Every structure is written in structure tokens, then in C-alpha cells.
């Protein structure tokens, strides 16, 4: 029986890489995202990679009411949804209290509220069909509030806690809850970052994550090495070592 997968944030980056990986595995793939032209371009490529069928869906997860309809459309097209990947996200460098609240709000609305809304609408469908898998993409940034990533770290940390609660609540149901926490994977969201320790190519990141999803893991860092060791240690780093240099009088902050 052909398995199906629904992926948010699939117009680029990790979402697009996962769509390609699951196409190669013969899945029916629903790709959802804000940029319809990119989705259509990707959708045209996936059958040649092996996808059983492809459905592009224009979706902005901050339009919370539209999520339910998008999931319903995919469920109707494929008959069921075996895997729902909650991947849509944004990331900005946002110094606290510098007039960037609009971007702060967009980060929380997308990375936290939009992610939770997707799960809230998906879970009843998985239950009704007798089971399935929820996959959510967080980040190593959930481990610690980092300078200029306060909103992003808060959103990913909040999603991590929600997933912990979800995993406990469905412990005795045929629902698999998978959390994947990437380090630096080479995508548009981080290419302007000056320092990207242990960055890996997008294709490798997508392949690693696809294997973890198919194994039904509970929680994994991506790649597992070195982040399984380093992410917990980040919590222990003294704040003084993370603090940016004070701004010089008449100068600008260097980043």
C-alpha cells in the first residue's frame, strides 16, 4: 500500500529536501507552502524521482483556519495521511527591543503557533484513520536563548515542550511523535549567518531526517554527531561568554 506524507514549508530548504527524499521512497507527497510557483516547480520534478503522486497546496500556516482545509484536501486526494511533517518556519536575527516586533510576532506565529495549529488539526485525522506519525522540526536553538535569536529560540523551545506533552498524551495510541532538531543545515534561512559550526549540505540533512522519520524515532538532533553531545552543553555556557560586545559610543554593533 502506498504511504503518504504531508509536508509544510516545502517550497524550499528542509521541506523541499524531504519531499525529494520521500518521492524517491515512492510516497504520495503533499507539499504545502506560501510560494506557489516554487511548489509547482518542485511538484513537476517529484514524479521523475519516484513519487506515487504529488499534490502542491498553497498554505501560510499563520492563516490558522486554512490549515484544516489543506490537510483535508491532501487526505481526500490520497485516502489517508500516514505522516504529517510540521516544518514551516522563519528565522530572523532580532536584537531585543530594537523595533522589530513585527518580525518577532511573525516568528512566534509561524514557528510556534502555526506548528501547534497544524498538529491540532492533523491529530484528529490520524486518530480517525487508526494511526499515523506527527513529525515536527525544532532546532538546536531550543537548548538556549542565544543573542539575536530570542524569538526563534523561544518558539522552538515552546514547540519542544508541546511535543513532550503530546508524546505523553498519545503514549497508548497508535500515534508516533517525532521531533527532529537540526543544527546548521545549508539553507536560505541561515546562509547569511557568519558562523555556522558543523554545517552540513542540504541533501545530506534531508537524507538523514528522512531515515529518522521512517525509523519512527522520538527525538534526534541532526546530524546526531556532534549535536547530541554539544546541544546539552550549550545550556551550561556562562551568559558572559555569549554576550555580544558593548556598543562603542558613536559606533555600531559589529555582526
Which of 32, 201, 181 is CA-nearest to residue 117?
Answer: 32
Question: 3-state class of 84 per DSSP?
Answer: strand
Residues 179, 160 contacting (CB under 8 angstroms): yes
Q: Rounded CA gap, 141 and 152, in Å?
A: 8
User: Of residues 27, 152, 162, 221, which has the active-site annotation?
Assistant: 152
Phi-psi region of 143 (alpha: psi -120 to 50; beta: other; left: phi over 0): alpha
- 152 catalytically annotated: yes
Cell numbers for 157, please give them.
523551545
The three three-digit cell numbers of residue 136, written as one number = 515536527
Would you please indicate which residues are annotated as catalytic (active-site) residues? Answer: 152
Amino acid at each position: 500500500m502506498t504511504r503518504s506524507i504531508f509536508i509544510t514549508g516545502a517550497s524550499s530548504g528542509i521541506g523541499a529536501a524531504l519531499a525529494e527524499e520521500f518521492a524517491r521512497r515512492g510516497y504520495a507527497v503533499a507539499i504545502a507552502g506560501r510560494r506557489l510557483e516554487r511548489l509547482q516547480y518542485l511538484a513537476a520534478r517529484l514524479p521523475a524521482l519516484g513519487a506515487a503522486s504529488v499534490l502542491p497546496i498553497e498554505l501560510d500556516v499563520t492563516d490558522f483556519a486554512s490549515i484544516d482545509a489543506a490537510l483535508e484536501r491532501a487526505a481526500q486526494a490520497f485516502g489517508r495521511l500516514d505522516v504529517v511533517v510540521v516544518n514551516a518556519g522563519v528565522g530572523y536575527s532580532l536584537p531585543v527591543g530594537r523595533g522589530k516586533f513585527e518580525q518577532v510576532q511573525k516568528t512566534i506565529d509561524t514557528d510556534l503557533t502555526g506548528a501547534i495549529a497544524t498538529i491540532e488539526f492533523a491529530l484528529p485525522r490520524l486518530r480517525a484513520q487508526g494511526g499515523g506519525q506527527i513529525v515536527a522540526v525544532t532546532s538546536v536553538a531550543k537548548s538556549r536563548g542565544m543573542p539575536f535569536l530570542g524569538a526563534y529560540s523561544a518558539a522552538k523551545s515552546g514547540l519542544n515542550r508541546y511535543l513532550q506533552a503530546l508524546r505523553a498524551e498519545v503514549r497508548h495510541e497508535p500515534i508516533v511523535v517525532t521531533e527532529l532538531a537540526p543544527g546548521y543545515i545549508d539553507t536560505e534561512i541561515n546562509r547569511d549567518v557568519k558562523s555556522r559550526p558543523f554545517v552540513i549540505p542540504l541533501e545530506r540533512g534531508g537524507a538523514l531526517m528522512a531515515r529518522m522519520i521512517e525509523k519512527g524515532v522520538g527525538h534526534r538532533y541532526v546530524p546526531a554527531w556532534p549535536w547530541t553531545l554539544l546541544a546539552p552543553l550549550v545550556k551550561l555556557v556562562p551568559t558572559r561568554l555569549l554576550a555580544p560586545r558593548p556598543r562603542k559610543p558613536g559606533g555600531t554593533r559589529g555582526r
